[in-house]
Amino acid sequence: MAKDGSGSDPAAARRTPAGAAVLREDKTEAIRAAVFEELAAVGFARMSIEGIARRAGVGKTAVYRRWRSKLHLVLDVVSAVAAAGLPAPDTGSLRGDVRMLLEVASRALRHPMASQIIPDLLAEAARSPELAQALRTTLHDSQEGVAAAVVARAVERGELPEDVDTRLALDLLTGPLYWRLLVVRDALPKGYLDALAASVTAALGEGVTEGP
């Protein structure tokens, strides 16, 4: 194979993709961040590729080279959130684990972006099966894995019966917070999370018999 005086292969150099063909990660992350900001500002229905590109400081072609529509862009972002997941706490007790999960969840739901984006996407999911499935993965399946880990440890410690319902645990953990913060949109009074943790722990622990 012929080489030039420097020892390099001119043909190989010609085969190297041009810089424009490489998807820059910084632009990709800027677009993903812009999606959250645009969703919070205008909602899914009014969100546009043009608006996302403008907010990200890129051209529309940069967005379209990565995603073919705003739905696929949102699906990708939602899936990325699900993949990041939430580590299951391991405080040594069921009540401690529940209290920590409630604290993390309440902080997330009180974030201004989350309080705008989540209700909007859930409403849009009623019209989009693809979005509904992605939201199920993000808001349910990923969190159910965390709840399952917490429940499994509590069963091993003898704090919960072996037949405890993991989905019920997830409902008890997230339902009250979602209702209070995103539906009623009321502030959490002092001591609320401690009282809720005690109630959830007691409800899940029904059926565990005390030893002699």
Q: How much is the pLDDT for 144?
A: 86
Q: How much is the pLDDT for 17?
A: 46
- Distance CA(176)–CA(191), nearest Å, equals 14
Q: How much is the pLDDT for 209?
A: 43
Please name the residue that has the structure tokens 């984006």.
Answer: 117
Residue among 206, 204, 79 nearest 153 (CA):
204
Q: How much is the pLDDT for 18?
A: 47
- Distance CA(195)–CA(57), nearest Å, equals 46
Mean pLDDT by 10 residues, the chain (212 residues): 51 46 82 91 92 94 91 84 75 95 90 86 89 82 87 94 90 92 92 96 71 38
- C-alpha torsion angle, residues 152, 155, 160, 162 (rounded to 10): 90
Quick one: residue 161, left, alpha or beta (phi over 0 = left, psi -120 to 50 = alpha)? beta
Q: Provide the b/e sequence for 147-170 (b: ≥16 CB within 10 Å).
A: bebbbebbbeeebbeeebebeebb
Q: How much is the pLDDT for 44?
A: 92
Residue among 210, 204, 82 nearest 151 (CA):
204
Q: How much is the pLDDT for 210?
A: 45
Q: How much is the pLDDT for 75?
A: 85
Q: How much is the pLDDT for 196?
A: 96
Q: How much is the pLDDT for 16?
A: 44
Write the DSSP assignment of the chain as a string of letters.
----TTS--HHHHHHSPPGGGS--HHHHHHHHHHHHHHHHHHHHHH--HHHHHHHHTS-HHHHHTT-SSHHHHHHHHHHHHHHH--PPP--SSHHHHHHHHHHHHHHHHHSHHHHHHHHHHHHHHTT-HHHHHHHHIIIIIHHHHHHHHHHHHHHHTTSS-TT--HHHHHHHHHHHHHIIIIIS--PPPTTHHHHHHHHHHHHHHTTPPPP-
Q: Give me 95's structure tokens.
A: 């009540």
Length of the chain: 212
